[in-house]
């Protein structure tokens, strides 16, 4: 499906922003509203959930300008969409997960508020701000959660809301499909976000229904 292909290729640009997808396929506006029994469609639906977008239908007769662009002749056979996008996205695609977290932290309203509080001197923070910033620390412009394991203190990257699915997919879907506790344990070696176990449990349950 063209939408899935586009979201995957432009993922670095689209994560963390709201956007609109206009399509002449009316059935697609229900992809997030109805649970499909088709495994392929169910997997697509799961994949696109990490993006914040709205699907709008526009009749095909009003989409002729799009068809014209897609049918334009290619003068140079090497100028395919894949090659052009590959060249433009090369820098973004080489970003580490930590750099992606940094970008998304500063784009997240809740975390941005925490970052602004932590940038103040402690004596300049209000009582409410001190409570909000408790157990958080800012290092290298990155927001960390301070975790005390008894024997030692660890700093874990705080994962923005819109990156939680990416992290869970990385440590569950792309690894050995660990159970809930094992997946949470793996994630907590580096990352933190609230209600993690509940989120992971829900993700695994949805994934098992798809397969």
Q: Is 153 exposed, middle or buried (0-12, 13-18, 19+ CB in 10 A)?
A: exposed
**Sequence spans of domains, the chain:** 1-72, 96-208
Q: For the chain, 211 residues long, give each residue's pLDDT as a single digit of tens.
A: 677 778 877 776 777 778 888 877 766 666 655 566 666 667 777 777 778 888 887 776 666 655 554 555 555 555 554 554 455 444 445 567 788 888 889 888 999 999 999 999 999 999 999 999 999 999 988 999 999 877 788 999 999 988 888 888 889 888 878 999 999 999 999 999 999 999 999 888 877 665 5
What dotted CATH number matches 96-208? 1.10.340.70
**How far is residue 184's CA from residue 193's CA, in Å, rounded to a whole number?**
11
Q: Whole-prediction pTM value?
A: 0.60
Which phi and psi (to 5°) does residue 117 adopt? -65, -45
């Amino acid at each position: 499906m063209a939408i899935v292909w586009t979201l995957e290729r432009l993922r670095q640009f689209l994560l963390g922003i709201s956007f609109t997808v206009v399509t002449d396929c009316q059935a697609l506006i229900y992809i997030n509203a109805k649970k499909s029994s088709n495994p392929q469609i169910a997997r697509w639906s799961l994949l696109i959930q990490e993006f914040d977008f709205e699907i709008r239908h526009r009749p095909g007769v009003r989409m002729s300008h799009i068809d014209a662009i897609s049918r334009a002749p290619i003068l140079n056979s090497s100028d395919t969409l894949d090659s052009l996008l590959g060249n433009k996205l090369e820098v973004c695609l080489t970003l580490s997960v930590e750099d992606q977290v940094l970008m998304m932290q500063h784009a997240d309203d809740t975390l941005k508020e925490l970052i602004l509080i932590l940038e103040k001197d402690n004596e300049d923070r209000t009582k409410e701000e001190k409570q909000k910033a408790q157990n958080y620390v800012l290092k290298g412009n990155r927001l960390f959660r301070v975790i005390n394991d008894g024997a030692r203190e660890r700093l874990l990257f705080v994962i923005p809301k819109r990156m939680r699915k990416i992290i869970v997919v990385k440590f569950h879907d792309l690894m050995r499909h660990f159970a809930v506790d094992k997946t949470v344990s793996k994630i907590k070696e580096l990352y933190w976000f609230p209600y993690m176990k509940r989120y992971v449990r829900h993700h695994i349950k949805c994934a098992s229904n798809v397969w």
